Amino acid sequence: MAWNNPNIILYHGTTTQHVASINRAVDWTKGELDEDFGQGFYTTTYLKQAEKWAHLKARNTRWKAAVFQFEIERDVLAPLDTLFFIRAQADAADYWSIIEHCRHNKGTNRGAGLYYDIVVGPVSLNTELRAVRMGYDQISFHTTRGTLLLDEHKDQIV
């Protein structure tokens, strides 16, 4: 079977409280400061993961779960400054180092106040035990350059 460079589909789980804002524009600066890869807008390639996060966020609130889908051409993402983490075993020092840095320094993922446009990797579960959430991934966007691409390719799917 020949590779035809298919589009990548990303999902973002949220609540109906944030739907209008995201429909206006994806804003990476509204993300929490102490996330795995720093402040940003987090997506996944797994619909079930996004649905789970949306329901978790909606629990014990008056809001309902909502999921956004973004279908983007890989060539459109290619020019962005991207950092990838494939391994997250206990000895994957670079992965655990950025997690510790971003969580304790509350923000930047590149140092000196700078951000990668996108960071891709596993979802951490416990930094002390160096454990990840099996079967989960995250593709996070940390600049306006990156989130503008999301704005051009979004659909809400509840």
Phi and psi angles of residue 37, each rounded to the nearest 5 degrees, phi first: -110, 20
- For residue 114, the model assigns a pLDDT of 86
Architecture of the domain whose range is 8-157: Alpha-Beta Complex (3.90)
Q: Where are the domains of the chain?
A: 8-157
Rounded alpha-carbon distances, angstroms, from residue 86 to 9, 53, 117, 153:
19, 22, 17, 26
Which residues, 6+ apart, have CB-to-CB distance to 135 below 8 Å?
A: 46, 49
61 vs 6: CA distance, rounded Å: 38
Residue 48: strand pairing partners: none
- For residue 158, the model assigns a pLDDT of 61
SS3 call for 75: helix
- For residue 20, the model assigns a pLDDT of 95
26 vs 34: CA distance, rounded Å: 19
pTM (two decimals):
0.94
Phi and psi angles of residue 145, each rounded to the nearest 5 degrees, phi first: -55, -40
- For residue 107, the model assigns a pLDDT of 66
- The answer to whether 49 and 16 are in contact (CB under 8 A) is no
pLDDT tens across the length of the chain (158 residues) = 888 999 999 999 999 999 999 999 999 999 988 899 999 999 999 999 999 999 999 999 999 999 999 999 999 999 999 999 999 999 999 999 999 999 887 768 887 788 999 999 999 999 999 999 999 999 999 999 999 999 999 887 76
Q: Which residues of 44-61 are buried (b: 16+ CB within 10 A; e: fewer)?
A: bebeebbbbbbeebbeee
